[in-house]
Structure 1
Amino acid sequence: MDATAINEPGPARSAASITLENIGKTYPDGTVAVGDFSLEVGAGDLAVLIGPSGCGKSTILRMINRLIEPTSGRILIDGQNILDRNPVELRRHIGYVIQNVGLFPHQNIRTNIGTVPRLLGWDKKKINERADELLELVGLDPSRYAKRYPHELSGGQRQRVGVARALAADPLVLLMDEPFSAVDPIARGRLQEEFLKLQATVRKTIVLVTHDIDEAVRLGDRIAVLAEGGRLLQYAPPAELLSRPDSVAVGDFVGADRGIRRLAVTPLRPALRPVEEGAATDGRPVVEADGTLYDALAAMLAADATEVLAVEDGRPVGLVSRAALFDVPKAFDVPTNEAEAAV
């Protein structure tokens, strides 16, 4: 196997597909952590693994970078079996972000970020340039933060450094194990928003583990709901998962308020109706046209209004009524059986 196959630089190689084929993990005492699990993650997609404690989410994640060896099945990155690679060398080409970050306390931030590039033999000048580039990317000024130590940063800042370190060698794959759960709710929301912007820029293939359905819906391109023993219950885009759970178990897990959550992943624009020429728009709550129906609902509730004004670059582009929030978007009206699909 080509040792550079999953880490070739350049815009055409920013991400790699991940294929899990019937993987399983059974421990010597007979405990089945993961049964017969299969999943496909497209290059550049963010897949979220979610489920109750003990359902094998973190075990699956660690099997992808061989921190845990599977007892059955195959794991492919861009079609190449990871078991054909040296596990240490493999891990140096897969970014990994954990809950408590794991920064080295005796090293400054620039040195922490450069950990993997040093192991790969990069020269010092290139490492420092890459570290400063990534600090800029995650919103930390290198002139202020590069020479600080982890204890001098807030929890949210340390988490950003952890993401920067995972991206240092420009991996095609990024694994994230509850990366934002150790920070307070306000910082967590901000980190999630910043992470979405970062992913839009770097477009890596990401597998993220979380217990939080709201986080899964906000971040994931597709969500995998797992049950005990690593059984896959459903794998679908957030909107489909919330509007059409495959089973009672999935419906129970995503919650009775999944209709509200669905608004958070429903674009506002399709619900807009034109603003009539000469119509007064003063006094209505305002939301950005690129927002979601959840943003519209929040604005309506805050202002006790029945409609909101959507704007783009400060210019009115349409109105959204309260009634529009209760219309099931056609995009979610997926076929429920073969006969319906054939219509």
Structure 2
Amino acid sequence: MDATAINEPGRDRSAASITLEDVGKTYPDGTVAVGDFSLEVRAGELAVLIGPSGCGKSTILRMINRLIEPTHGRILIDGQNVLERNPVELRRHIGYVIQNVGLFPHQNIRTNVGTVPRMLGWDKAKIAARSDELLELVGLDPARYSKRYPHELSGGQRQRVGVARALAADPLVLLMDEPFSAVDPIARGRLQEEFLKLQATVRKTIVLVTHDIDEAVRLGDRIAVLGEGGTLRQYAPPAELLSRPASAAVADFVGADRGIRRLAVTPIRTALQAGATADGKPTVDAGGTLYDALAAMLAADVSEVVVVENGQAIGTVSRAGLFEEHSRESRPAA
């Protein structure tokens, strides 16, 4: 894997698989932070690590880029064992976003974003162009923000700069440790929405740590629920995790209201009944979710909505049908 070549700007965006095989971390005092942990993250996928405090989420993340050295096991990026690479060189090709961003206060925003490209020896013009490209990508006008300093930005704006800096050298993978938890709930929701749009554009392989199950469900392609000692309790897409928890412990962790959360990640087509005309009923787009259908029903105080695609009615979703679909597989596994 020629990481330097892959990460040159102007080349096609790329992502790489991440494989953890029996990875563990035991400290000298005998504390087991992570036991034998195995996980596969497909290229271009966003995997979320979630679990109670002290379950090893951040430790696993930091072992991937070798900020913490594992005691045993193998970590592969695109099939190459990262433990066989120089750790400093490795980190320059892995994007890393942390909770409090960690921008350099004495450097302006453009210089902050260009940190890794400078380390890789890019010329100044290329660094400036790449920095401005990424500021534009994360929704910050370079003409307005590139010469500002971190203290002149809001918390949400600084977090966007942190994401831009992590993407500057076009890394194969992006690691994010509770990236949105330090901002207020309204800004957090906006950042999450913008981040989903950004991921749809760049399609990086991302491992994200959070303690917020709603954030995990909203962002993750798959969610890994961890227990004490870094044990893996379940690894599944959000809808499967919410509808079929692997154990009572997982069901307790994701919450008694997991059914409502599941509506937000279940396509509306799963409860679609063919044949419909609008007839004055509220409409919902076919690309929406069951949560959107329920919200429309409640807002209009009706028991049925019409599903439309390209302006044409293609069927209906009823309240009865919605809850029938919702309850079909809503119990935890024995």
The reply to whether TM is greater than 0.5 is yes
The answer on 1:327 being equivalent to 2:324 is: yes
Q: Is the 2:34–2:59 contact (alpha carbons within 8 Å) kept by the matching residues of 1?
A: yes
Two-structure CA RMSD over aligned residues (Å): 2.3
User: Residue in 2 aligned with 1:341?
Assistant: none
User: Residue in 1 aligned with 2:273?
Assistant: 273
Q: Is the 1:271–1:320 contact (alpha carbons within 8 Å) kept by the matching residues of 2?
A: yes
Q: Within 5 Å, give how 1:1-343 maps onto structure 2.
A: 4=4, 7=7, 10-11=11-12, 14-274=14-274, 276-277=276-277, 280-281=279-280, 284-312=281-309, 315-328=312-325
Which deviations, in whole Å up to 9, do the C-alpha atoms of 1:226-262 show, x marking residues without a partner?
A: 0010000111111111111111111111111111111
Q: Is the 2:263–2:326 contact (alpha carbons within 8 Å) kept by the matching residues of 1?
A: no
For the residue of structure 1 that corresponds to 2:106, the secondary structure is coil
Which deviations, in whole Å up to 9, do the C-alpha atoms of 1:140-182 show, x marking residues without a partner?
A: 1111111111111111111111111100000010000001111
Q: Is the 1:6–1:16 contact (alpha carbons within 8 Å) kept by the matching residues of 2?
A: no
Q: Is the 2:271–2:325 contact (alpha carbons within 8 Å) kept by the matching residues of 1?
A: no
For the residue of structure 2 that corresponds to 1:232, the secondary structure is strand
Alpha-carbon distance in structure 2 between the residues aligned to 1:166 and 1:331: 42
Q: Is the 1:138–1:164 contact (alpha carbons within 8 Å) kept by the matching residues of 2?
A: yes
Alpha-carbon distance in structure 1 between the residues aligned to 2:236 and 2:279: 42
| C-alpha distance 47-276 of structure 1, shift in aligned 2 (>3 A) | closer
Moved over 6 A (4+): 329-333
What is the CA distance between 1:137 and its match in structure 2?
0.8
Which deviations, in whole Å up to 9, do the C-alpha atoms of 1:6-34 show, x marking residues without a partner?
A: 747733x6100001010110111111000
What is the CA distance between 1:331 and its match in structure 2?
11
**What letter corresponds to residue 79 of structure 1 in structure 2?**
G
Alpha-carbon distance in structure 1 between the residues aligned to 2:238 and 2:150: 35
For the residue of structure 2 that corresponds to 1:39, the secondary structure is strand
TM-score (norm 2): 0.93
Alpha-carbon distance in structure 2 between the residues aligned to 1:159 and 1:55: 25
What is the CA distance between 1:323 and its match in structure 2?
1.6
| C-alpha distance 7-165 of structure 1, shift in aligned 2 (>3 A) | same
For the residue of structure 2 that corresponds to 1:52, the secondary structure is coil
Q: Is the 2:259–2:326 contact (alpha carbons within 8 Å) kept by the matching residues of 1?
A: no
Give the gaps of 5 or more residues in structure 1: 338-343
Alpha-carbon distance in structure 2 between the residues aligned to 1:286 and 1:122: 52
Alpha-carbon distance in structure 1 between the residues aligned to 2:246 and 2:117: 44
Which deviations, in whole Å up to 9, do the C-alpha atoms of 1:270-329 show, x marking residues without a partner?
A: 33334535x522xx3343321111112122223322122334455544432112221337
Alpha-carbon distance in structure 1 between the residues aligned to 2:5 and 2:158: 31
Q: Is the 1:6–1:93 contact (alpha carbons within 8 Å) kept by the matching residues of 2?
A: no
Question: How many positions carry a matched residue from both structures?
Answer: 332
| C-alpha distance 81-58 of structure 1, shift in aligned 2 (>3 A) | same
Q: Is the 1:267–1:293 contact (alpha carbons within 8 Å) kept by the matching residues of 2?
A: yes
| C-alpha distance 166-197 of structure 1, shift in aligned 2 (>3 A) | same
For the residue of structure 1 that corresponds to 2:325, the secondary structure is coil
TM-score (norm 1): 0.91
